[in-house]
Structure 1
Amino acid sequence: MKYLQELKRVFFVLILICTIPVHNIFAQAEQLGVYEKLDTYLPDSLIFTDDNFNKIDLKTAMDKPTVLAMVYYECPGICTPLLNGLAEVVGRSELELGKDYQVFTVSFNHLENSVLAAKKKKTYLKLAGKENNVNGWQFFTGDSIMIQKLLQSIGYYVKQEGKEFVHPATLVVLGKDGKINRYLHGTDFLPFDLKMAVVESAEGRSGPTINKVLQFCFSYDADGKKYVFNTTKISGSIIILAAISFFISLLISGNRKKKINNID
């Protein structure tokens, strides 16, 4: 019985290890990934150019719950699935875009301009079925100083490789006061998750991050520009669990034999 209890403890510890946001651990070494900054606020004077060539202070423009998507518009990889997923959930949500919440998409490539931003806006408003809601989803560009200021304030780190960037796929949901209330990781989002994030942000409450456990199973493939199932990491965890289970089973078996010998 004692060894069975030990086995349960070991298994519980392994479960906890699997739920740790491993991508953040690796990010600390590589300066790549997301360091969540829940309950912190965006700084003042975040000046970006919108898709109509107007200079906008992002924090001042957050007069309602805001979903922030950090991308770069000529991204050949994960940005497209992210924006596709965002457009899909915006189209499916019962929340009213532009009234209940708004979406800001910001490029972290300072070489991109408002012309490109306007093209992307047209594409994704159409995909979401919101062609007439031009104020509900805005696309921004900015200079390198403002971009870094914004990225650091939300704990979002990218790595440039030539003309491309390696970066996470994450949405940040903020309140109308610029407070960070929720991170939504991945490229597929449920209407319920969006609604909860928006409602909590409207009330000034922060919520737990969604899909942290799933992130343990996936890693970003810089060559293929996509997230892939991390076979090595998962296989390693299974092997470790199997080895520990086998070791404990030997201990239990040995203990039983001792008891039988003592009876004899």
Structure 2
Amino acid sequence: MTARPDWDAAQYLRFEDERTRPPADLLARVPLAGPKRCIDLGCGPGNSTELVAQRFPGAVTEGLDSSPDMLEKARKRLPNRSFVLGDVASWSDAEGYDLIFANAVLQWLPDHEGLFPRLARSLRPGGCLAVQMPNNLAEPSHVAMREIAAEGQWAERITDAKAERSAIGSFGDYRRWLMEAGCRVDIWQTTYVHALDGVAAIAEWFKSTGLKPYLDRLTAEEQQAFLARYRERIAPAYPVEQDGKVLLRFPRLFIVAVREG
């Protein structure tokens, strides 16, 4: 089996300020005073891990990610923290954490009905599971990806890329699953509005995330053709403002669950 291409940390960090705002907002709602053991699942280049370490300087804070490139950037950013190569989909911990932080990672994984209770079981009593997931599959930015994937010479090779990310559950689903796992649950959704430099910037934003499963299956020439179609397709949905910017709407789902007992 061919290995999946690695994530591109440099591309991801092109929009670091915008990408760091949601984990900061999530962390602000974590109701812990002095956790001793924290982990950032899907830590990426360490920008979210840095927030956790700054909020809880007395805690042992670790990061876990499946991307060697992301981990390399994270270790350079936070040389005094531990970063481990691993798969969030199969991760669990018997000793237990006071904080399990998962920013923009769990949307890539299947079986949330099983995943979320398993993560809750890796919390110590009183520990907190804090999750943020993009909830934007119905946005024009993502509808266009699926439509273009089904068109043209690449259709047979990349239509299966839709399976890389499934629709996430409902508010009620996550509340029920986590309550049954012994947690009290706080859920909310925020739509961020990012002013970007045209539809080309929207394409650049998603090249490191939503577009990546499609582009990974294409040759370099096909990638350029796919991106050209993508920019053309999304342009009517993102009109240019008076200052030359376009406004990218980005809904995100937030969950903070505290294990009782």
Q: Compare CA radii of gyration and give the structure with the larger one.
A: 1
Whose relative contact order is higher, 1 or 2, with alpha carbons under 8 Å and at least 6 apart? 1
What TM-score, normalized by structure 1, do the two folds share? Answer: 0.28
Structure with greater strand percent: 2
